[in-house]
Structure 1
């Protein structure tokens, strides 16, 4: 039972033609729901997140792809929502990240509709994976609170297509955005001793931050440590006024299980500013790390080999929703999928038709092998 090339292409083109930038996923959620109803399922929808399960038994696997995309950005030759097919590629925002995987899941749903599954296969199509959504607003967070499974396979474009390599992601850093408001005391710049320069205090805070002993963990054969960097600083009002306030936005990519970075930044601020500061934590998302000694990893390797793909295990540079299924839902989670990882978020995003069809077939075989 092979995947149907024409159906895959049709679904992908229709998905690309529906703009679904983070926070605006209602239309694509309705489309996916309608297509699943046509196949014969009765999907549930919660806050535009679509989910259902098929099969019966003690073994279970949660399959996930996200419905949202980043914004278009840049100058495109092809209409980013046109889904133009040209020279063996389909162009459009989300072609690889992540609508190729959404289309693959729709085709797998069609194939399993009348096939006996020796266990429970849970399909989840989620919102808010990309930038802008707070943790509690992400679809993966919402569904992690509701659904249980033995394993989760989160689908993202993780392949190196030119090398025919399927990457298996077993962990990622988390994110902490820390907003520091530093209070100074304004005065005439001719009499700076009468004031307290908030920008100078901010510079001291950042200098201390650079020397901080950050949390670290070992991930297989590499050390993963928390990375922090200032990405925005605002302060000062007039060239004749000593700045009485300064705001720093510190962006941290946290090693798994780093629960101390916000307190570390707060401690530095207290040392330098006393009580004259406030801290906010407007965005927080966990990192995670998974044990590679897992039967699902072995199945992925075996099936990839049958398609003449090599595999490589990787710790992801960016945050992925597998971290939420793991840390919030307590579901052991890995990430792989169709699509080239070099195509994420780029202008003129595309997916290779050959790779799209081949890797959709590979993904289908992985799922069937898991339940065999």
Structure 2
């Protein structure tokens, strides 16, 4: 669509229909109640790469723990990361903390209400800046996220890749032009809601309140728009994980500042590349014994856990061992206090499964077992096939 054609169609965009639909159908999300610059900031950062239904509980707990930007600025990083545990992309939490401290030190504790000043704060990109201006300060600012890019590329038949900066700029101008001068934040949020609930990757066109104005709907191009660059190839990883118990404690490792999952706890693990390596429990045991400097006895196995980050998909196969002597590497933490530590998302799943397993297994005293008499059959749960 040419810019001249766009200008004509934008004038006829059914803003009122979209507004009515939004006011009737919008989800009751907690960050929509009495939004403040701080609560909008927190919610928008959490919503990056994460579904709204997942964010709800995290947001609620966060606002209880850190109800003001001052309370966040005074927090220890470990406490912040622990509260973020399970959301993934932990740099978001660190940037929130750094940004809060910057607001306290450089803006006298007040989140600024202009784009230039907001842009100086650590971790605030164009979308979050415009979201704060729109939803907290009620400014006429278009907050253009992936949902809005999808909606408007279909609505206005934009057939250039939305991964291009020029396309994003054009769509942002379209979104800005659609905002009325009265209550612009309603339409800004309605466009996001439309993309999140109706105009999805597989759109629900029959439910769309503005479909008759949609170019993609008229030309049956919903499934080919928006245009995207080729995605990075998915990398599949398979890891054998060693859960090592010693006298009521659990062996874990805290990742260093320059390592992946920096500052988070994980269990020792080894990359595996074949079915044979997966089934070589004896070889893996010896490798872990050399690594921690202690003899290990097999105790059991957990069901496989799956995890994804960036363009990686990870399968985690966990074996439980007891150490016969004090391990020389890693940190030992009492099982009763293990929930106080912040784990990476994949290893949090393992930790939660382990606590359930130990509770169900027994209330029995720890005892070593051989591979054949594991509580769980290794062959039953672990297969290298599939992704």
TM class by shorter-chain length? under 0.3
Larger radius of gyration: 2
**TM-score between both structures, scaled by the size of structure 1:** 0.26
Tell me: higher relative CO, structure 1 or 2? Use CA pairs within 8 A at least 6 residues apart: 1
Structure with greater proportional strand content: 1
Structure with greater proportional helix content: 2
**TM-score between both structures, scaled by the size of structure 2:** 0.25
